[in-house]
């Protein structure tokens, strides 16, 4: 079946009224999650995961993905109107978006952000349609050694792309790998670190760890007294940008879409990194760089397009290789697996309805978001008026329900609380929890493929260099490690250190 026929099959699934309803619900909830400060897309998806248990796989994944890309749209509303990033990828939008709002151009900034997000999101889905199936077909050649090398590359790439240092990222990833070994060893049946707690036999779940580190950890680090802000509410008739503003936005949207998609393919917090890089690129290319920080249209259009394209790009390795590039795609993979559908190379051929239905729903979802975000902006603005002192207790309640409902295990809820405290501590020590979740997700696959490779080769480690695909992947790992070591030796300030400085400056 060709791409066009497959896509038509996808639309026949995505345009069914009930699938449309769940896509709409996902987009609406995602927008709210993006709008509300302190609740990120990860907590939103994790909390609503149990709600999808009663749905079929297509509806579940369509709704959860809608929350993810919907949150990228919603994050810009808070950033522009309150100078608070609704979620981390909107940090750069705060700068020029809010400056535009102060000049009375809040409506125009919101419109440019929404249209840019739609263009970038649609571009990302087109690329996903074209790239994912051939990539999945290629990945069918992968055996255990190739998977081991691919997962090592994923971790090294994550560490290389991270704005914190390489040892810090790999330290967190090792901690995640270690937590991932808790439970029964699938190959020998040994209980590992379960301390006679039956629930730990199944291992530590991704959901309690992710909700604890990102949902509860964020709340613990944010005392309610600090969350204050004045909302600038735009009127509906002020939403249309001028012709000059459209012209200024066109190229940044195009550049942000391409840049964001490419960064989205790589492991790490791609949607965050892409918005920082896009802002830097636009400032460098601008004829009036002095306008940045004072309401430059390109400073809104570029980063907003980039973070949306990146969130779509992240679906390519997730769907085609079964490889999570970040904690959000990791939870989406968990959602697919709960429904008995393993993501990866076989997904396209064995479950075409789910794969193509999901892809087609993203075309529809992006249109829905455009229609949803602009006319309803005044309603979302009212949501921002809920005091944080009432909001965070609700989030804690949803965290408890969300974790408990996954397997009705109170141990999981305790793990969430412990992880919340760990997340609070990690933030205090400047350690990024995202690689920990990634390590936890890949641990079972990594361990299994590593041990299978060694059994295949009768204990000969050179198997990883004898197979061409694995050897190429490991050569890329070595190259990245070499580059990282070189910048460490030269103590050169490359783009990553500048990104870290920018992030730190914005968080202060």
Partner 1 sequence: MTLRTDHIAGLIFVAFGLLVFALSGDLPFGTLSFPGAGMMPKLAAGSLIFFALLLILRANESEPIATVPWGDLPHATRVVAITAAAIALYQTLGFLITMPLLLFALTFGTERRNPLVAAAFSIGAVALTYLLFAVALKTPLERGVFGFWLWVR
Residues interacting with partner 1, by CB under 8 A?
50-51, 53-54, 165, 167-168, 170-171, 174-175, 177-178, 181, 185, 187-188, 190, 192-193, 216, 219-224, 226, 389-390, 392-394, 396-398, 400-401, 404-405, 408, 410, 413-414, 417, 420-421, 424, 428-431, 443, 446-447, 450-451, 454-455, 458-461
User: How many residues can be counted in the chain?
Assistant: 508
First to last CA, the chain: 53
CB 363 within 8 A of CB 195: no
Contacts for 232 with CB less than 8 Å, ≥ 6 apart:
81, 82, 101, 102, 106
Residue 292 structure tokens: 């940045």
Q: How far is the CB of 130 from partner 1 (least distance, A)?
A: 36
Q: How far is the CB of 174 from partner 1 (least distance, A)?
A: 4
Residue placing its CB nearer to partner 1 in the complex, 9 or 174 = 174
Cα–Cα dist 137/64, whole Å: 25
Nearest to 229 by CA among 88, 385, 31, 395: 385
Q: How far is the CB of 176 from partner 1 (least distance, A)?
A: 9
Q: How far is the CB of 479 from partner 1 (least distance, A)?
A: 20
At residue 49, the 3 state secondary structure works out as: coil
CB 34 within 8 A of CB 71: yes
CB 354 within 8 A of CB 58: yes
Cα–Cα dist 38/375, whole Å: 24
Residue placing its CB nearer to partner 1 in the complex, 43 or 307 = 43
Residue placing its CB nearer to partner 1 in the complex, 413 or 470 = 413
Q: How far from 122 is each of 128, 318, 353, 368, CA to CA, in Å? A: 10, 18, 20, 12
Nearest to 400 by CA among 420, 372, 424: 420
Q: How far is the CB of 82 from partner 1 (least distance, A)?
A: 20
Q: How far is the CB of 405 from partner 1 (least distance, A)?
A: 6
Residue placing its CB nearer to partner 1 in the complex, 243 or 458 = 458
Cα–Cα dist 110/237, whole Å: 12
Residue placing its CB nearer to partner 1 in the complex, 367 or 383 = 383
Q: What region does 288 belong to: left with phi over 0, alpha with psi -120 to 50, or beta?
A: beta
Q: How far is the CB of 27 from partner 1 (least distance, A)?
A: 18
Nearest to 276 by CA among 501, 438, 101, 30: 501
Residue placing its CB nearer to partner 1 in the complex, 291 or 405 = 405
Q: How far is the CB of 318 from partner 1 (least distance, A)?
A: 24
Residue placing its CB nearer to partner 1 in the complex, 26 or 260 = 26
Residue placing its CB nearer to partner 1 in the complex, 331 or 370 = 331
């Amino acid at each position: 079946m060709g791409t066009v026929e497959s896509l038509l099959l996808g639309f026949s699934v995505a345009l069914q009224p009930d699938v449309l309803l769940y896509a709409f619900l996902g987009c609406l909830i995602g927008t709210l999650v993006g709008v509300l400060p302190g609740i990120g897309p990860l907590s939103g998806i994790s909390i609503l995961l149990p709600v999808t248990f009663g749905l079929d796989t297509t509806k579940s994944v369509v709704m959860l993905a809608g929350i993810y890309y919907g949150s990228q749209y919603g994050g810009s509303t808070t950033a522009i109107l309150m100078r608070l990033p609704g979620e981390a990828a909107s940090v750069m939008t705060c700068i020029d978006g809010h400056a535009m709002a102060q000049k009375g151009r809040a409506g125009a900034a919101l419109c440019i952000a929404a249209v840019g997000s739609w263009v970038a999101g649609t571009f990302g889905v087109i690329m996903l349609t074209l790239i994912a199936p051939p990539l999945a077909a290629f990945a069918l050649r992968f055996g255990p050694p190739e998977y081991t090398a691919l997962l090592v590359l994923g971790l090294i790439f994550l560490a290389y792309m991270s704005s914190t240092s390489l040892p810090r990222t790999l330290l967190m990833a090792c901690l995640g790998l270690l937590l991932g070994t808790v439970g029964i060893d699938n190959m020998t049946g040994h209980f590992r670190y379960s301390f006679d707690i039956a629930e730990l036999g199944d291992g530590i779940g991704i959901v309690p760890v992710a909700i604890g580190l990102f949902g509860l950890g964020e709340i613990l680090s944010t005392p309610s007294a600090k969350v204050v802000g004045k909302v600038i509410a735009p009127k509906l008739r002020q939403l249309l940008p001028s012709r000059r503003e459209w012209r200024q936005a066109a190229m940044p949207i195009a550049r942000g879409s391409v840049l964001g998609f490419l960064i989205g393919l790589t492991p790490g917090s791609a949607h965050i990194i892409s918005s920082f890089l896009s802002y830097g690129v636009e400032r460098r290319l601008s004829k009036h760089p002095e306008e940045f920080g004072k309401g430059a249209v390109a400073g809104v259009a570029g980063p907003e397009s980039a973070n949306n394209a990146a969130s779509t790009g992240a679906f390519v390795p997730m769907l085609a290789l079964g490889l999570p590039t970040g904690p959000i795609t990791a939870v989406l993979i968990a959602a697919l697996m709960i429904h008995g559908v393993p993501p990866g190379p076989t997904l396209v051929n064995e479950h075409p309805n789910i794969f193509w239905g999901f892809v087609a729903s993203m075309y529809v979802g992006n249109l829905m978001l455009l229609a949803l975000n602009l006319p309803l902006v005044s309603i979302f603005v009212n949501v921002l008026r809920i005091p944080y002192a009432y909001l965070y207790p609700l989030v804690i309640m949803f965290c408890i329900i969300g974790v408990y409902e996954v397997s009705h295990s109170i141990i999981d809820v305790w793990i969430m609380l412990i992880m919340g405290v760990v997340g609070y501590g990690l933030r205090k020590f400047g350690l990024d929890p995202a690689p920990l979740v990634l390590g936890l997700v890949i641990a079972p696959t990594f361990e299994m493929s590593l041990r299978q490779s060694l059994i295949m080769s009768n204990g000969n480690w050179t198997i990883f260099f004898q197979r061409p695909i694995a050897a190429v992947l490991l050569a890329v790992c070595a190259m990245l490690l070499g580059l990282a070591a070189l910048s460490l030796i030269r103590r050169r300030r490359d783009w990553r250190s500048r990104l870290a400085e920018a992030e730190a400056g914005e968080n202060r």
